[in-house]
Amino acid sequence: MIEDDFYATIKFKNGEEIFCKTSACEENDKTFLLISNPIIVEEIKGRKGIIGYKFEPWLKTTTEDMLIINIEDILTMTESSDIEMILLYQNYIRGLNQVKDGSNQKITKEMGYISSVNDAKDILEKLYRSR
């Protein structure tokens, strides 16, 4: 039996913390979590406090997006209702899927000037000298 899925922050007994979409699943009198696209969220701090977040995949050497976790390995879990965090997570996962699908936009000259560092340096020096 699988319960409805929800967004959650999960803290493991080994100290790792992830954010993911999850649902509970029971099989043979054991409870497991089915997690989707787990990520690690790190705060980026500046002089004035937290200025943003950095998202990274929890497992970097797999292309699987669904994983099974034994509930006995979990210290605590909380359901997330933070709309901002959920939207950031969804955007991050959407970006990952575009990279996997190869549907990223290709860079074209219509998007802007493409040049090497040396070419750009020469152009900027000419502009500076002409003033």
pTM (two decimals): 0.68
- Measuring CA to CA, which residue among 98, 64, 80 is closest to residue 17? 80
- Measuring CA to CA, which residue among 82, 60, 94, 71 is closest to residue 22? 71
Rounded Cα distance, 32 and 23, in Å: 9
What is the average per-residue pLDDT within 87-108? 73
The sign of the dihedral angle between the CA atoms of 58, 60, 65, 67 is: negative
Write the secondary structure of 38-57 as one string of H (helix), E (strand) and C (coil).
Answer: EEEEEEEEECCEEEEEEEEE
Over residues 105-120, the pLDDT tens digits come to: 566 666 566 667 888 7
Q: Which CATH number fits domain 6-106: 3.40.50.1370, 2.30.30.100, 1.10.3720.10, 3.40.50.2300?
A: 2.30.30.100
Q: Report CA-CA distances (Å) from 105 to 14, 19, 40, 91.
A: 40, 28, 26, 16
What are the residue ranges spanned by the domains of the chain?
A: 6-106
pLDDT band at 37 (very low <50, low <70, confident <90, very high): very high
pLDDT band at 101 (very low <50, low <70, confident <90, very high): low
pLDDT band at 103 (very low <50, low <70, confident <90, very high): low
Return mean pLDDT, the chain. Answer: 83
The sign of the dihedral angle between the CA atoms of 13, 14, 19, 23 is: negative
Q: Describe the chain by its helix, strand, coil percentages, rounded to 5.
A: 30, 45, 30
